[in-house]
Amino acid sequence: MRAAIMRAFGEPLRVEAVPDPEPASDGVVVAVRASGVCRSDWHGWMGHDPAITLPHVPGHELAGVVAAAGPEVRGFAVGDRVTVPFCCGCGRCEPCRHGQTQICDADFQPGFTAWGSFAELVALPRADLNLVRLPEPLGFVEAASLGCRFMTAFAALTEHGRVAAGDWVAVHGCGGVGLSAVMIARALGASVVAVDVDPETLELARSLGAAETVDARAGDAADAIVELTGGAHVSLDALGSAATCRGSVRSLRKRGRHVQVGLLLADEREVAVPMDRVIAYELELRGVHGMAVSRYDALLRLVETGAVDPARLIGRTIALEQAGEELASMGAFAQRGLSVIEL
Ligand SMILES: [Zn+2]
Ligand SMILES: [Zn+2]
């Protein structure tokens, strides 16, 4: 198969011919049709992820067709159109036995713990647990775009935020996951106030359904949100920084729920949050790591109804040969749609 190989951190990926993977006895090999390029891939490429060993193939937002299946696989067969969550479960640990595959103790993450989908073929273990069948009308490119940012936004709003129609939802940071959250919250019947530092991005958030927008450069975003909404019922830090985390907590009304979506890395791993406010307002603080594979049905139904259109977040499709260049460009926080490799 052809694969975009990483032989050294921070150096250009090269498309090379390498041996085809074989399916595990309980796994499949998927012929990749589309694979999203994500900032997490960039972190991996830069050497920020200790799970990655070289040589390596990135890629975790994939959709494709089953090309080979191990003898123990019962629920899937060659030719099935499928995707997987970026965090696959082992099926044996306590979180997996409770259905929480996204926080598996021995998780398999394509493109991190093993070779991923910047390739013609990718091997995926424990297919009966982890694979998700794609509904016929959903294209591969759109399906690939659901597997990471969209899915995490959906879990943040439904499972953790427990958003109800009529709620005010604040979204701090309108990158891929933030804009996904704007769209999904709107589809759930909530009113959204979107926060960002870029006027064009705020305009985009408005076009995707945000009722209000706040330019964080203009002053204290939390104060502005409280002024506009009386305090949000649910607030997401969709960027991942000490400032947006604290701002998200401070923008809540009493008994509101903060969901930490953006990763807190490097020297912002530990954030001082106003715990006095958490007590006085009886706030809830939640973290979201991804979405359990069992929740895919609900997410796909929302897409099928047309209430959300993930295609609106796709910026462009590229060839496998352009994957390395695209990855290298993700160091800058340039605002644009998602890039998806099409094979
Ligand atoms: Zn991703
Ligand atoms: Zn597990």
- The pLDDT value given to residue 245: 97
Cα separation, 197 vs 42, whole angstroms = 22
Q: What is the pTM of this model?
A: 0.93
Q: Which ligand is nearest to the CA of 60?
A: 1
Q: How far is the CA of 6 from the centre of ligand 2 (A)?
A: 28
Q: pLDDT: is 333 or 230 the higher one?
A: 230
Helices 176-187 & 199-207 angle (0-180, nearest 10): 30
Average pLDDT over residues 150-178: 96
The answer, yes or no, to whether the previous bond of 55 is cis (omega within 30 of 0) is yes
Q: Which ligand is nearest to the CA of 106?
A: 2
Contact 127, 75 (CB under 8 A): yes
Q: Which ligand is nearest to the CA of 89?
A: 2
Q: How far is the CA of 145 from the centre of ligand 1 (A)?
A: 9
In this predicted structure, the answer to whether residue 333 has a pLDDT above a threshold of 70 is: no
Percent of the chain past pLDDT 90, that is, above it, reads 87
Could you tell me what percentage of the chain is helix, strand and coil, using 3-state DSSP and rounding each to the nearest 5?
Answer: 35, 25, 40
| 3-class state of residue 170 by DSSP | strand
- Find the helix or strand (DSSP H, E) in which 300 lies: helix 296-304
Q: Which ligand is nearest to the CA of 129?
A: 2
Q: How far is the CA of 110 from the centre of ligand 1 (A)?
A: 11
pLDDT in tens, 252-284: 999 999 999 998 887 888 999 999 999 999 999
- The pLDDT value given to residue 159: 96
Residue 93 — pLDDT band, cuts 50, 70, 90? very high
Q: How far is the CA of 128 from the centre of ligand 2 (A)?
A: 14
- The pLDDT value given to residue 335: 52
Q: How far is the CA of 155 from the centre of ligand 1 (A)?
A: 14
Q: How far is the CA of 100 from the centre of ligand 2 (A)?
A: 8
Q: Which ligand is nearest to the CA of 42?
A: 1
Q: Which residues of 96-125 are buried (b: 16+ CB within 10 A; e: fewer)?
A: beeebbbbbeebbbbbbbbbbbbbbbbbbb
Q: Which ligand is nearest to the CA of 107?
A: 2
Residue 336 — pLDDT band, cuts 50, 70, 90? low
Percent of the chain past pLDDT 70, that is, above it, reads 99
Average pLDDT over residues 43-56: 91
Average pLDDT over residues 88-110: 96
Q: Which ligand is nearest to the CA of 35?
A: 1
Residue 39 backbone dihedrals phi, psi, to 5 degrees: -65, -25
Average pLDDT, the chain: 95
Q: How far is the CA of 97 from the centre of ligand 2 (A)?
A: 7
Of 180, 143, 150, the closest CA to residue 34 belongs to 143
In this predicted structure, the answer to whether residue 148 has a pLDDT above a threshold of 60 is: yes
